[in-house]
């Protein structure tokens, strides 16, 4: 999803059970809330804001 929307490579790292954190340069930018995971759009927007890219994903 990040490659398609922002042309960024990503890496999946296994963490403790139940955790979900998206980091950019070691800094958390979005994480799982108490009752659910962030949407794809929320992840792309949070990463884009951090790296200075477009604030909304491109249309499919």
* Residue-wise pLDDT tens digits, 2-58: 888 899 999 888 888 778 899 998 899 998 877 888 999 999 999 999 998 665 545
Quick one: pLDDT at residue 60?
A: 43
> What angle is formed at CA 48 by the lines to CA 24 and CA 40, rounded to 5 degrees?
90
Segments making up each domain of the chain, as ranges: 2-51
Closest by CA position to 38, among listed 27, 47, 26? 47
Quick one: pLDDT at residue 47?
A: 94
Verdict on whether the full-model pTM lies above 0.75 = no
Residue 18, phi-psi category: left (phi > 0), alpha (psi -120 to 50), beta (remainder) = left
Strand, helix or coil for residue 42:
helix
Q: What residues form DSSP beta bridges with 30?
A: 22
Confidence band, pLDDT 50/70/90 cuts, at residue 59: very low
Quick one: pLDDT at residue 33?
A: 79
């Amino acid at each position: 999803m990040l490659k398609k929307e922002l042309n960024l490579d990503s890496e999946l790292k296994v963490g403790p059970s139940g955790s979900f954190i998206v980091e950019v340069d070691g800094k958390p930018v979005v994480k799982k809330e108490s009752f659910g995971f962030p949407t794809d759009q929320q992840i792309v927007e949070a990463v884009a804001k951090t790296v200075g890219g477009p604030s909304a994903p491109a249309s499919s």
